[in-house]
Amino acid sequence: MTTTAAGPGRIEHDLIGDIAVPAEALYGAHARRALLNFPSTGRPWPPRLARAFALVKKAALAVNLELGFVPKEDADAIGLACDELAEGALDRHLVVDPLSGGAGTSLNMNVNEVLANRANQILGQPLGLYRPIHPNDTVNRGQSTNDVFPTAVRVAALWALNELEMRLAALQAAFQEKERQFADVTMVGRTELQDAVPMTAGQLVASWAEAVARDRWRVFKCAERLKVVNLGGTAIGTGIGAPRRFIFRAVEALRQLTGLPLARAENLVEATSNQDALVEADGILEAAAANLLKIANDLRLLSMSPIGELTLPPMQAGSSIMPGKVNPVIPEYVAQLALETMAGHQALVAAVSQGNLQLSQYFPLAAWHLLDNLRLLDNAARALVERLLPDLAVDAARCREHLSRSLSVAAVFVPKIGYEKAQEAVALAGREGLTLSEALARFGVSEAEIAEALSPARLRRLGE
């Protein structure tokens, strides 16, 4: 052990020269330099990505063992280290910021060093010696950052997509339950923030349910794009440094470990060079964000005090100075997550589109936003399902009151009395202070006809 100004540590050597590494750290020289070069953005590794990296390394290990490139004893130790990494036991040693330079090389080397040191530790060897297990020659054998990192990101994204699909299914079901509860409440439909024509509150909520259903289907389908991985392509997709047998076995081994329907890209050079599949998948997430933002704003508008047709559950005090004020905090939270997702998508598109030649050098930024957007949308959908929808209520009396005062009902009777007379009825009501029902009566529309036209059954029936 060597003592440095920073305290007890060990000295490791790499391409640049000697560097001090904390004595008990499982990471090594490369990760240590990354810590110095890339100040933290405060964005921790997504746990799914660490687990995905562990399984990619374990799959490569299985093939290398099968091909006789790694002794059984060493492979067993590395396998145990991979399991610990997958379970989160080594998270504190994953120190490289997700937005490091080098297209993710420091992330991959952080993993390689941690697994090598932990495996050597299991075998009774000191940290930093890297014998018999070396970060590059053993843990990274047959691999490159440029195929390992994109593959790990896709594995993590596929797991997250599966969870998001289930979350959206729960949100769809919750809206459909509210649709049933609100089915017989009539209300004013509105366009451009003005009264339009009558509808039911159930139809309002059904429109949200249907939008979420489309998002659920899109999320399910976009997994098809991410299941194609470039593992085995190594540096630029030509497979340099990897035996042919390794290239054809690695993805199969990973598929067995993850249970995911992964497939090796037919053109590994293309798959290493282009990352448009991330843009496509994240575009699906942006569409979901757009729907969630629209729903959140609808909830806010219909619950605001001048309208008050929907009642949101009170979640917390809304003001430090105004007693009794309660804000629509869940829709506001959902809206902000949606906006953040949209902003992240723009950064992802920029990162992918600025890749050069055989590599997307800003892949870490794209990967970060894809995985983070999946997390944001999962949180948004969960907030609606768990914190808002169980106690969302409709104020039927307020809906009736607004409908009785609205001039929008006149449109219902255009087929009976014509557009011009309906327009005259609206003008008459405004001029003489009549209700629209009273004005329509002067044009031969009875109370019974108005009641029938505004009945939930009539409003749910498509067309005349």
Does the CA dihedral 141-145-146-152 come out positive or negative?
positive
Mind listing the pLDDT tens digit for each residue in 113-160? 999 999 999 999 999 999 999 999 999 999 999 999 999 999 999 999
Predicted confidence at residue 3, as pLDDT, reads 36
Label residue 327 by pLDDT band (50, 70, 90). Answer: confident
Label residue 413 by pLDDT band (50, 70, 90). Answer: confident
Q: Is the pLDDT of residue 49 over 90?
A: yes
Question: Which candidate in 319, 360, 446, 455 is catalytic?
Answer: 319
Specify the range with the lowest mean pLDDT, choosing from 56-65, 195-204, 417-426.
417-426
Per-residue H/E/C for 163-213? HHHHHHHHHHHHHHHHHHHCCCCEEEEEECCEEEEEEEHHHHHHHHHHHHH
Q: Is residue 369 within 8 Å of residue 157, measured between CB atoms?
A: no
Higher pLDDT, 101 or 309: 309
* Options 3.20.20.70, 3.40.50.720, 1.10.40.30, 3.40.50.1950; CATH of 406-460: 1.10.40.30
Pairing of strands 263-264, 228-229: parallel
Percentages (nearest 5) of helix, strand, coil residues in the chain: 60, 10, 30
The CA distances from residue 4 to 14, 20, 21, 23, in Å, are 18, 7, 9, 10
Instruction: Tell which residue, 347, 155, 383, 349, has the closest CA to residue 250.
Output: 155
Predicted confidence at residue 131, as pLDDT, reads 95
Q: Is the pLDDT of residue 91 over 60?
A: yes
Q: Which residues contact 89 (CB under 8 A, 6 or more apart)?
A: none
Q: Is residue 413 within 8 Å of residue 440, measured between CB atoms?
A: yes
Output 64-72 pairs: Cβ under 8 A, ≥24 positions apart.
64/141, 64/142, 64/246, 66/249, 67/243, 67/245, 67/246, 67/249, 69/141, 69/142, 70/138, 70/141, 71/132
Instruction: Tell which residue, 222, 204, 257, has the closest CA to residue 373.
Output: 222
% pLDDT > 70, the chain: 98
Same fold, 2-141 and 147-393: no
Label residue 5 by pLDDT band (50, 70, 90). Answer: very low
**Residue keyed to tokens 């899109």:** 218
Mind listing the pLDDT tens digit for each residue in 170-200? 999 999 999 999 999 999 999 999 988 999 9
Instruction: Tell which residue, 282, 257, 288, has the closest CA to residue 367.
Output: 282
Higher pLDDT, 33 or 40: 33
Mind listing the pLDDT tens digit for each residue in 340-386? 999 999 999 999 999 999 999 999 999 999 999 999 999 999 999 99
Q: DSSP letters along 317-341, please?
A: ---SSSTT----HHHHHHHHHHHHH
CATH classification (class only), 2-141: mainly alpha
319 is catalytic: yes
Q: Is residue 66 within 8 Å of residue 72, measured between CB atoms?
A: no
Predicted confidence at residue 4, as pLDDT, reads 43
Helices 47-66 and 72-86 meet at what angle, rounded to 10? Answer: 170
Looking at residues 413-441, what average pLDDT do you find? 88
Q: Which residues contact 304 (CB under 8 A, 6 or more apart)?
A: 328
Predicted confidence at residue 7, as pLDDT, reads 53
Rounded CA separation 207/200 (Å):
11
Q: Is 11 helix (H, G, I), strand (E, B) or coil?
A: strand
Predicted confidence at residue 2, as pLDDT, reads 40
Per-residue H/E/C for 144-169? CHHHHHHHHHHHHHHHHHHHHHHHHH
**Residue keyed to tokens 């014509």:** 418
The CA distances from residue 202 to 182, 199, 391, 394, in Å, are 5, 8, 15, 10
Omega before 198 cis (within 30°)? no
Q: Is residue 169 within 8 Å of residue 216, measured between CB atoms?
A: yes
Widest distance between CA atoms in the chain: 100
- The model's pTM is 0.92
Q: What is the identity of the amino acid at 153?
A: V
The CA distances from residue 333 to 123, 360, 365, 381, 444, in Å, are 49, 33, 24, 11, 50
**Which CATH code fits 147-393?**
1.20.200.10
Domain coordinates in residue numbering, the chain? 2-141, 147-393, 406-460
Q: Output the average pLDDT for the chain.
A: 93
